[in-house]
Amino acid sequence: MQASLSRSLSSHAMESDERGRASFHATTPPRLLGNDVWFHTADTAPLLEQHAPYGFRDSVNASVLRAWQSAVAANMTRDVTTRRRSCAVVGSSGVMINASLGRRIDAADHVIRMNTAPTVGFEEHVGSKTTIRIATLNAGLHARREGLVTRSTTLVYYCQTKWIGACWGWIPREPAPRLSPSLLRVAQAVLRTSKLFPSTGIMSVLVAMSLCRKVSLYGFGLRNDTKCGKYYGRCVPPSMYFSHLSRKQIVMESKKQKHIMEVGGAYHDLESETSWLQSLGYRAPMAEHVKLAGFDAVSLRMEPWIDPRQAARVAKAAG
């Protein structure tokens, strides 16, 4: 897998524009295989062969799975799977405070935001346009209640659970598009991480790579002078957001701060995610406009990466 990715990256020429922003030019349009990205277009057979969170084996039968796919497809008012020229993926990092990148972001064909990141009151810096909002179930429902999902926005759910729970079971009542469980394996493979769930931001980058010839990232990572982990809400120090607190510690700190804290380091492998983005040419200051060339093809037909610690445990158990 890694060799394939390295060949893909090496096939892209890197150069810098007059402002020093790194640009990659792909010889062929970057893409992920469509069936690896969207649940409603995914082949059912592979999904029925894999246990959660990579599939639905022993949880959902083929008829229910197809009914869910049909419900999502029938509810789609616009085809978000159609390829576009440019995508802007807007992260929620505090580097977007006073970034003045709004016009540049809104110029993209697709503007992808995550979870409950707002635009009202921040238009000059993060833009006002949102065509796709990728969110976990609770965050997506909250985004609807807060009016963050407008008629021009397609809400896409990232079912970030170890079991087939409400995010999938609620499809009849909430038939918004879902990311395919297969994309989770792609993300884990490119990050080479042992943590189960990549962040919504990384999943959004992969979606953008599947949709657009040019992908621009904004608001990922931090600078030394960044005082807040996110550009909106209560100012939580970046050191806290990127820390590795346990769930119990997060709850205790949230009560202390009187604010529900979203501490990414407890759930995601932020070091691997940062390294992967940097390998694609993304450099500090993280708010700068960087074009990324996606992979010519990232397919689950490639051998998935296996966590060496897991392999050692399996070998030990086998005697």
Q: Report the DSSP pairing between strands 290-292 and 212-218.
A: antiparallel
Percent of the chain with pLDDT over 90: 36
- Lowest pLDDT segment from 66-75, 134-143, 172-181, 187-196: 187-196
Average pLDDT, the chain: 75
- Lowest pLDDT segment from 90-99, 199-208, 211-220, 277-286: 277-286
What are phi and psi for residue 90, nearest 5 degrees?
-110, 110
Task: Tell me the pLDDT band of 214, cut-offs 50, 70 and 90.
Answer: confident
pLDDT tens for each residue of 238-250: 766 555 555 565 5
- Evaluate whether 269 touches 195 at the Cβ level (below 8 Å): yes
Rounded CA gap, 57 and 60, in Å?
A: 6
SS3 of residue 217 by DSSP? strand
SS3 of residue 286 by DSSP? coil
Task: Tell me the pLDDT band of 307, cut-offs 50, 70 and 90.
Answer: low
User: Bigger pLDDT: 224 or 210?
Assistant: 210
Whether residue 180 has pLDDT greater than 70: yes
Rounded CA gap, 207 and 93, in Å?
A: 19
- Evaluate whether 122 touches 250 at the Cβ level (below 8 Å): no
User: Bigger pLDDT: 155 or 98?
Assistant: 155
Q: What structural domains does the chain harbor? A: 2-14+22-294 (3.90.1480.20)
Rounded CA gap, 61 and 175, in Å?
A: 18
Best mean pLDDT range from 5-19, 25-39, 62-76, 235-249: 62-76
Whether residue 255 has pLDDT greater than 60: no
Instruction: Compute, in degrees rounded to 10, the torsion defined by CA atoms 196, 269, 97, 205.
Output: -60
pLDDT tens for each residue of 29-44: 334 555 679 999 999 9
- Enter the pTM of the model: 0.77
Output Rg (C-alpha) for the chain, integer angstroms.
19
Q: Output the CA–CA distances (angstroms, integers) from residue 114 to 79, 204, 250, 275, 295, in the order listed.
A: 19, 8, 21, 20, 22
- Span 216-220, average pLDDT: 88
Task: Tell me the pLDDT band of 22, cut-offs 50, 70 and 90.
Answer: very low
Task: Tell me the pLDDT band of 309, cut-offs 50, 70 and 90.
Answer: low
**194-222 in b/e burial notation, b at 16+ Cβ within 10 A?**
ebebbbbbbbbbbbbbbbbbbbbbbbbbb
